[in-house]
Amino acid sequence: METISKWSINFSSGVHVYKQIINNIYEAIGNGELKEGDKLPTIKELSEQLQVNPNTIAKSYRELELKGVIAGKRGNGSFISAHQAKTAKLTAEERDSRLNKLFSRVIAEAKSEGITEDELMNYIMDRR
């Protein structure tokens, strides 16, 4: 559960917060950081960690429960459900296509903010 604590929410990304939480959970499942039967962080825990209102976390969990990805045990927290519902892996082709689009956007956006492509790349390298 401690490894999960690098989740982060961007409040001005144009992506709904509850959706970002869902996405993070999907990613963690894909990563193997969360496996069948693992316990998810409490709503209260996540709420404090991500600085997000508990209701918002609850909404994310509710939506995942509806899809059968997780299951809530009354008073015991929520757990990754035995039923798979994997992240519907993208084909390598589709993934690369999206990455191409995404990255050419990043470059343009960076430039429009006065950042060169080199500065961008250096930043990303340092970030690892």
Partner DNA sequence: GTGGTCTAGACCACC
Partner DNA sequence: GTGGTCTAGACCACG
Contacts with DNA by CB under 7 A lie at 14, 16-19, 40, 42-44, 52-56, 58-59, 61-62, 65, 72-78
User: Does position 121 bind its own copies by CB under 8 A?
Assistant: yes
Binding partner selected for residue 35 from its own copies, DNA, none, CB under the kind-specific 5 to 8 Å limit: none
Shortest separation between residue 64's beta carbon and its own copies, angstroms: 9
DSSP annotation string for 47-116:
HHHHT--HHHHHHHHHHHHHTTSEEEETTTEEEE-SS--------HHHHHHHHHHHHHHHHHHHHHTT--
DSSP SS3 for 71:
strand
Which of 5, 27, 36, 48 binds its own copies (CB under 8 A)? It is 27
Residues binding its own copies: number (CB under 8 A): 63
